[in-house]
Amino acid sequence: MAKLWGGRFQKETDRLVDDFHSSISFDRRLYRYDITGSMAHARMLARAGIIRQQEAEAIINGLQELLEDIEAGRVEFSVAAEDIHMNVEQLLIERIGEVAKKLHTARSRNDQVALDVRMYLRDEIDAVLELLAGLVAALLDLAEKHVHTVMPGYTHLQRAQPVTLAHHLLAYCQMFERDMDRLRDCRRRVNVCPLGAGALAGTTFPLDREFVARELGFDGIAENSLDAVSDRDFAVEFAAAASLIMVHLSRFCEEIILWSSTEFGFIELDDAYSTGSSMMPQKKNPDVAELVRGKSGRVFGDLTALLVMLKGLPLAYNKDMQEDKEALFDAVDTVKKCLLVFRPMVATMRVRADNMARAARGGFTNATDLADYLVRRGVPFREAHAAVGRAVAYCLERGKCLEDLTLEEMRRFSPAAGEDVYQAIGIDRCVAARAVPGGPAPEAVRRAIAAARQRLAAAAPAHAGRSGDK
Ligand code: ARG
């Protein structure tokens, strides 16, 4: 097949080269954006008097039919035509003839590919935002049911102080809300129209770039033509935001894996979200959580690939940049798949509140509360800390909890202890007393849930709808 750029060439490209540099196998997923972008370009060319109105109409109608045929699976792309941009152009020429050859006036694949990727990513960011919002909503629903479900909070994976499952879940809500914030912020820089930058230096034709930008739902135009065709910061930003989403999912998965072990016994995963062993009949494995944890590595790899691909590139476009797509697509696909399966896995898990409470009672999670109690009775904190430390050592030797000590035993460690000490170190009391904003007390947690729901509702319209390209 003759190349669209073949004019100055005397030989065919080697078949190895065709295979090597062709990107159609993966950039075909951009077809809808490529075609929508071309339609807006053609419309603008006619408005600016660069092509005739009937020519634009023929091109737009041809593109529309091509789009429908691709969508219906009636179109075969060609490796020899290299990429989605030249495939679309070639197919259009085959279908509507000579007039199609005017479409690429005042345009380069360099500004075209930047356009397509930005339109694609804008939609995908909206899709990921929706998945995140759904996940946060599900976590809030679960949290609401567990405002009183006491569990140990950990540092160094050692039991530290009592919290509630609701409070623990809300910590993840915070992470996912920050992820949403990052995506919205990234979207602002994605949503800038590069078309009109040409190959690198703009074009000699009187383009109406603002018109194209408006037609395609962009907030504005890229201001410098060299930057417009060589900027992939937005892809890096997305991959970084996606990496953090994966970090958060992965940490959560690690806990789900620990919690579902017999040793913890805090939760049981639903059968629909666990798998068995081919050899050991008793096994029920948290494979889904493990796989999400494992897939985080892919996304960090995608981020690294993008950074390394860009770091040595001189301005402006370089073919290295074709490598942006597979990394970006993989990050998008992976993060979406993981979010999709993670939500129902968490929503359906059975919470073993009894085991959580038992664990919270053992392990001296109320030791700080005992020290705080003594402080309220006038003992300096450092002394109270030492006294409780000695009491813990005494209990450990006898296999007791702090609340098992008699008052007489208590007073051996600190004479400041009174009858009311038992009330102060009861586990529910320890949680309820942490009523500081951001703390695990049921009242504070209820307020936090309500505030999160409000933020979610307020944010919804910002990323739902809007897009000139659907
Ligand atoms: N397939 C190319 C890419 O993905 C499109 C841009 C090609 N431009 C060029 N001058 N070779 O980057």
Query: Model confidence over 326-343: pLDDT tens digits?
Result: 999 999 999 999 999 999
**Looking at domain 359-449, does it have CATH number 3.40.50.300?**
no
Going from the Cα of 44 to the center of ligand 1, the distance in angstroms, rounded, reads: 23
Mutation test residue for ligand 1: of 104, 319, 320, the one with most atoms within 8 Å of CB: 319
Q: Distance (Å, rounded) from C-alpha 155 to C-alpha 395?
A: 21
What distance in Å separates the CA atoms of residue 142 and residue 348, rounded to the nearest whole number?
10
Taking a C-beta distance cutoff of 8 angstroms, is the pair 94, 35 a contact? Answer: no
Query: 199 CA to middle of ligand 1, Å?
Result: 10
pLDDT in tens, 402-418: 999 999 999 999 999 99
- The burial class, CB within 10 Å (0-12 / 13-18 / 19+), for 391 is buried
* DSSP assignment letter at 314: P
What is the mean predicted confidence (pLDDT) over 238-242?
Answer: 99
* Ligand 1, pocket-test mutation among 3, 108, 113, most atoms within 8 A of CB: 113
Between CA 393 and CA 122 the distance in angstroms is: 58
Q: Which of 21, 25, 261, 277 is catalytic?
A: 277
Say which CATH superfamily domain 14-105 falls into: Fumarase/aspartase (N-terminal domain) (1.10.275.10)
CA 358 – CA 465 distance, rounded (Å): 47
CATH number of 110-145+164-351: 1.20.200.10
Tell me which amino acid residue 52 is: R
pLDDT for residue 54? 98
Residue 465 pLDDT > 80, yes or no?
Answer: no
CA atoms within 13 A on the CB side of 392: 16
User: 277 catalytic, yes or no?
Assistant: yes
Q: How far is the CA of 84 from the centre of ligand 1 (A)?
A: 10
For ligand 1, what atom is nearest to the CA of residue 317? 10
Ligand 1 centroid vs 189 CA: distance in angstroms?
Answer: 21
| Nearest protein Cα to ligand 1, atom 12 | 322
- How far does the centroid of ligand 1 lie from the alpha carbon of residue 298, in Å? 25
- For the stretch 134-184, pLDDT in tens is 999 999 999 999 999 999 999 999 999 999 999 999 999 999 999 999 999
Closest among 462, 245, 450 to 343, alpha carbons compared: 245
Tell which atom from ligand 1 comes closest to the C-alpha of 84: 1
pTM for the full predicted model: 0.94
> What is 227-249 written as a DSSP string?
HHHH--HHHHHHHHHHHHHHHHH
Query: Using 50, 70 and 90 to split pLDDT, how confident is the model at 468?
Result: very low
Query: DSSP 3-state assignment of 193?
Result: strand
Per the prediction, the chain carries an average pLDDT of 96
Task: Output the CA angle 201-30-208, nearest 5 degrees.
Answer: 40
Q: Domain segments of the chain: what residues?
A: 14-105, 110-145+164-351, 359-449
The minimum-distance atom of ligand 1 relative to the CA of 23 is 1
pLDDT of the residue at 242: 99
Q: What spacing in Å lies between the alpha carbon of 320 and ligand 1's midpoint?
A: 9
Q: Using CA positions, which residue lies closest to atom 3 of ligand 1?
A: 322
Catalytic residue among 108, 156, 167, 250: 156
Q: What is the pLDDT of residue 3?
A: 86
**Sequence-separated (6 or more) residues with CB below 8 Å from residue 343:** 131, 134, 135, 138
Check if 156 is active-site. Answer: yes
Check residue 283 and give its pLDDT.
Answer: 85
Pocket of ligand 1 (CB under 6 A): 23, 27, 83, 109-110, 113, 317, 319, 321-322
Confidence bin at 461 (pLDDT 50/70/90):
low
Using a pLDDT cut of 90, give the percent of the chain over it.
91
